């Protein structure tokens, strides 16, 4: 799919995880590959000459194909750059413990072809890559999913690449050690103000044309946060522990076979619990058990 200077390299199953949709942006001087997917890693999509790799954030599925471009600079937001420097650096972003950490290391190496590199090139909010012929990529720091997660605005075509603000029915993911619910919400407010012609995500939603289609999807995506929180308040009509909350499942569905589901559930819902306590809507009835206040 071609959007002006940008070609979307649509992955298998339209880029549904673990696949993804990488972008190739070609100016008159340089071509930049954004978020090389696992299909790029495995040679399942054709990629012509690439002068730089740009990563929206350091997660296994977005950096899978970086290793195929060892001779060119890899650019990351400065807050995520440690994740590509070593496998330990990447694992710190997730923050899994024990056996899950051990298993996930193997998955990242074997299924996502993780290739560390000691010298990534950091970028910051507002940085611009000039590809020649009037084609530019502007960095917009959009933290929350990870600390360094960033959008890329391709000009003059007006392609806004949203990375893992992926507009999916799953909703926002803020379950890693380097995630933040509060930052994600700020990012969701900011993204509403951005004007573009096309809105592209890494995963299966793909490309939306026009702001109305984007805002419609964005509102449904963002609403998942309030839905999770409302379900938590309802669950806490009776006192429950964080273990009970994890077992009940608010982010994943009961029975979803995801290796790290409990960790993600715990970290995501702890953030909701903390702010409900701060707001006085939930109280700790006895140590480690919380209840919602009657309204």
Residues binding Zn ion (CB under 5 A): 59, 164
Single out the residue of 33, 108, 114 nearest to residue 67, CA to CA: 114
CB of 104 to Zn ion, least distance (A): 14
Q: Which is nearer to Zn ion, 164 or 229 (CB)?
A: 164
Compare residues 203 and 240 and give the one whose CB is closer to Zn ion: 203
Q: β-strand 159-161 against 198-200: which pairing, if any? A: parallel
Residue 164 CB, shortest distance to Zn ion, in Å, is: 4
How crowded is residue 216: how many other Cβ atoms within 10 Å of its Cβ? Answer: 13
Q: Which is nearer to Zn ion, 59 or 75 (CB)?
A: 59
Minimum distance from residue 145 beta carbon to Zn ion (Å):
6
Pick the closer one to Zn ion by CB: 94 or 290: 94
The nearer residue to Zn ion, 82 or 164, going by C-beta atoms, is 164
CB contact burial 239-260 (16+ within 10 A = b; e otherwise): ebeeeebbeebbbbeeeeeeeb
Minimal CA–CA distance to 208: which of 245, 254, 161, 169?
161
In the complex, least distance from residue 244 CB atom to Zn ion, rounded to whole angstroms: 28
The residue sitting closest to Zn ion, measured at its beta carbon, is 59
CB of 144 to Zn ion, least distance (A): 11
């Amino acid at each position: 799919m071609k959007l002006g200077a940008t070609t979307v390299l649509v992955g298998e199953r339209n880029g549904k995880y673990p696949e993804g949709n990488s972008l190739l942006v070609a100016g008159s001087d340089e071509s930049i590959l954004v978020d090389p997917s696992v299909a790029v890693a495995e040679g399942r999509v054709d990629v012509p000459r690439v002068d730089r790799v740009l990563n929206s954030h350091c997660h296994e599925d977005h950096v899978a194909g970086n290793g195929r471009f060892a001779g060119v600079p890899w650019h990351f937001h400065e807050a995520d750059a440690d994740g590509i420097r070593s496998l330990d650096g990447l694992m710190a972003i997730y923050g899994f413990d024990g056996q899950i950490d051990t298993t996930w290391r193997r998955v990242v190496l074997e299924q996502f072809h993780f290739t560390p590199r000691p010298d990534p090139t950091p970028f910051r909010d507002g940085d611009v890559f000039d590809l020649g012929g009037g084609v530019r990529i502007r960095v917009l720091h959009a933290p929350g999913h990870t600390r360094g997660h960033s959008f890329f605005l391709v000009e003059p075509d007006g392609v806004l690449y949203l990375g893992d603000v992926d507009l999916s029915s799953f909703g926002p993911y803020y379950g890693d050690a380097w995630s933040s619910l509060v930052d994600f919400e700020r990012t969701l407010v900011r993204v509403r103000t951005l004007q573009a012609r096309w809105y592209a995500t890494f995963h299966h939603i793909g490309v939306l044309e026009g702001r109305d289609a984007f805002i419609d999807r964005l509102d449904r995506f963002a609403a998942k946060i309030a839905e999770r929180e409302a379900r938590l308040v309802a669950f806490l009509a009776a006192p429950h522990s964080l273990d009970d909350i994890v077992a009940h499942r608010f982010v994943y569905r009961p029975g979803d076979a995801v290796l790290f589901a409990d960790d993600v559930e715990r970290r995501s819902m702890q953030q909701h619990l903390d702010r409900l306590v701060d707001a006085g809507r939930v109280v700790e009835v006895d140590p480690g058990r919380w209840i919602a206040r009657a309204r």
